A and B are shown apart, each in its own frame.
Chain A
Amino acid sequence: MGSGMVSAPRDPGIDLRRLCVTVRQDIVTMIHNAGSGHPGGSLSAVEILVELFFRQLRLDPSKPGWPERDVFILSKGHACPVLYSVMARRGYFPVRELGTLRKMGSRLQGHPDAAKLPGLEVSAGSLGHGLSIACGFALGIRLLEARAPEGQPAGEGRRVFCLLGDGELQEGSVWEAAMTAAHGRVSNLVAVVDRNMVQLDGPTEQVMALEPLESKWAAFGWHVVPVDGHDLDALHGAFEECRSWSLSASGPSVVIARTVKGKGVSFMEGRSAWHGKCPDDESYGRAMSELESGED
């Protein structure tokens, strides 16, 4: 098989809803085991990452540096537990390694360290960096693809995805990157905002209001796709719309995924207190059984 033909299966043949439950259990277990971490913004992004890694990204877990892969940049680095879980479940590394999160010598650092774990594109943790990196990556891909020898089948070009937190949008540098991407019509770039409405100090609209968020992105020249960020079918449709938009070469698109912070664990949902708190043994037990029984 030619390398250009490898891609993520559109129908992975596994139950993605069940997988989302497993990923949530991974997240809670990893953080409980580590004794610290950020459950809220990891739980809100589960469906987004499952859809990306199982149905959108062109990737090969056995070849993390495959030159034709699509690129995923996690800008909200504190949500790395969800990324680690989805990567492990996708086959990048053994699931048992999830138990090493935040431990000395682990490849699963408290915030992503790309030098340690193959498959991570870039380290992240200081907010407001990712969209610039993703845009530059997409510009670089576009430049190199334009140099491909004539006669080579063009196919679908590589794309770059960037997951941002909503609170993160308060960083001014995000909007610098938003301008650059629109100005350069960087249409192989897709941003995703995990719009869970809550940041460390409280509700985003109380700390520093972000609304009207859709019209902000639109005003910056982006194609805006709002979606229920916990509905896998809707997410799939949203990303397929972005795929079509990319082909139109008109500019970047952004999926604004309406989510619930701490989704799936009742006492964490919508609570800023669980932005960066580790569950004690009792909370952990409750969270795990809720997640198990919450499955239809």
Chain B
Amino acid sequence: MGRMRPTREGYSEGLLAAGWESPLVVVLDADLASSIGSEGFGQVFPDRYFNVGISEQDMIGEAAGLALAGLIPFASTYGVFAAGRAWDQIRTTVCHNNLNVKIGGAHGGVSVGPDGATHQALEDLAIMRVLPGMSVLFPADASQTKACVLAASRHQGPVYIRFGRNPVPEIYPEGCSVEIGKADLLSEGRHLTIVAGGVMVSEALDALPLLVSRGMTADLINMVSVKPMDEDMLVSSAKKTGHVLVAEDHQDSGGLGGAVCELLCSRCPVPVERMGVPGVFGQSGSPEEVRESFDLTASGISRMARKMLERS
């Protein structure tokens, strides 16, 4: 197995890099700095760092005000609180005013496994991507998370970045870049398109040889930009393969799978299977155990792919 790194480490590095790049970057926390890794920014740039305590709604409002003053605020907390607790502030203050606020949704999906259902952000992509003007990024590893932070910092407008807690395999090299609205085609095949985000990208990569052993090849799209989505890449792949499988550690409705279906049903209606959390809450367990309970693994993807292709 290759090198493993937690994506939050990439977030932390990204904040520092963005901070060196622009003196306008400021960082806000809500008492989770040491957990997320954003405290490093505060040590290097103390005058550009604000910890508001356990008050997510205020954090987003403060970030909005800092953006109005001309700064580039990154406000971070666990995704479940960032997207959920402060949704009204994000909708009506950040998005309606199209403010330059960046939101770090840490510990996304089931990556915070043992903490249990209350802390597992499984709805954040859905409730963020529905907001007008909001961009949603879903990096696959630590290096790509760092690149997402830099892309967000250079972008004018609100961005939500969803990343995780636990070490995941490094797919991308240090110094890789991300463009908002562009996906990454990691593998090319003929029979099936696999669309994945976050930790499921590395699971999907592991699924590819399992498929090959059964005589199947797949396009693998890392949909790092959930919104705006790389429509052309997805549509041309779906036209070629005729079958799409989406994998995400998120509810199987409303998130990446929902976004893919919304696009394809009008531009290229092909069968789509959505692998995710099937409308239930998670539970305590290691992230791997919890994902396995939802079949969100390389072998789960491989089984679903075979089922899909056998049907057709």
Binding site for B on A (CB under 8 A): 71, 113-115, 121-123, 125-126, 128-141, 143-144, 146-147, 160, 172-173, 176-177, 179-180, 183-184
Asked if A133 and B93 make an inter-chain contact with CB atoms under 8 angstroms apart, the answer reads yes
Asked if B57 and A176 make an inter-chain contact with CB atoms under 8 angstroms apart, the answer reads yes
Chain A residues contacting B88 (CB-CB under 8 Å) are 126, 129
CA distance A139 to B28 in the complex (A): 12
Chain A residues contacting B65 (CB-CB under 8 Å) are 132-140, 160
Asked if B69 and A141 make an inter-chain contact with CB atoms under 8 angstroms apart, the answer reads yes
Other contacts beyond A129-B64, A136-B68: 11, CB < 8 A: A123-B96, A126-B92, A136-B69, A143-B47, A144-B70, A147-B23, A173-B58, A176-B52, A177-B61, A179-B55, A180-B50
Whose C-beta in chain A lies nearest to the C-beta of B64?
A133
10 cross-chain CB contacts under 8 A = A113-B96, A126-B89, A129-B88, A132-B58, A132-B64, A133-B61, A136-B67, A139-B50, A140-B69, A176-B53
CB distance from A140 to the nearest CB of B (A): 3
CB distance from A240 to the nearest CB of B (A): 25
Q: Which 4 A-B pairs have the closest CB atoms?
A: A136-B65, A132-B61, A140-B69, A176-B58
B178 adjacent to chain A (CB < 8 Å):
no
B26 adjacent to chain A (CB < 8 Å):
yes
CB distance from B163 to the nearest CB of A (A): 24
A contact patch SS: helix
Q: How many residues of B contact A (CB 8 A)?
A: 30
Whose C-beta in chain A lies nearest to the C-beta of B56?
A176
CA distance A180 to B55 in the complex (A): 9
Asked if B66 and A139 make an inter-chain contact with CB atoms under 8 angstroms apart, the answer reads yes
Of the listed residues B23, B53, B58, the one surrounded by the most CB atoms of chain A closer than 10 A to its CB is B58
Asked if B68 and A132 make an inter-chain contact with CB atoms under 8 angstroms apart, the answer reads no
Chain B residues contacting A173 (CB-CB under 8 Å) are 55, 57-58, 61, 89
Chain A residues contacting B98 (CB-CB under 8 Å) are 115
Asked if B62 and A135 make an inter-chain contact with CB atoms under 8 angstroms apart, the answer reads yes
CB distance from A255 to the nearest CB of B (A): 19
Asked if B92 and A123 make an inter-chain contact with CB atoms under 8 angstroms apart, the answer reads yes
